[in-house]
Amino acid sequence: MRVVTPIPHKRARIEIIPLIDIMFFLLASFMMVSLSQVHMKGIKVTLPTGQSGETQSKRDYISVSVDSNGNPYFDKEEMSYDKLTATLQKVHQENPEAKVFVRGDANTVHANVIHVLDILRSVGFYKIAFEIKSEAARGVPAAPIPH
């Protein structure tokens, strides 16, 4: 004899709407995290502080740094001043409108930074900004000041 249950038997089903909601949440989270990451091209130097600094976009830029010993760097590669001049000439031929960010260590001699500035101008770069650690924006690690 077969006994019939009064509770109706339902088949399991997969709900797609909550899955889509979770996927959109993950996509938005990953986008926000990836946008907040800053890619630093220059070497780590102790930047001088200033009160008038403002944050600028760092897309498609060139980083030239001078460490505390006066050694110049192109991005993160240490080089001599002659090699720096040749590298900057090559880069200027490829992209003459590129922005240049100069990072000078707070303990370096002022003449070293001026030497790099002279090289940049002799090559033909005129969109030059100096990076400083801004006192106005404590959370921002470096804020370039346009020159």
- Residue range 30-66, pLDDT digits in tens: 888 887 766 666 666 666 666 655 555 555 678 888 8
Q: Residue 23's pLDDT band (boundaries 50, 70, 90)?
A: very high
Q: In the chain, where are the structural domains located?
A: 49-146
Q: Choose between 45 and 118: higher pLDDT.
A: 118
Burial label for 57, CB within 10 Å (0-12, 13-18, 19+), is: exposed
Asked if 53 and 137 count as a contact pair (C-beta separation under 8 A), the reply is yes
Pick the CATH number of 49-146 from 3.30.420.270, 3.40.50.740, 1.10.260.40, 3.30.160.60: 3.30.420.270
Those residues whose C-beta lies under 8 Å from the C-beta of residue 37, and which sit 6 or more positions away, are none
Query: SS3 string of 50-61?
Result: ECCCCCCCCCCE
Percent residues over pLDDT 70 in the chain:
73
Tell me how far apart the alpha carbons of residues 132 and 115 are, in angstroms, rounded to a whole number. 18
**Is the whole-model pTM more than 0.85?**
no
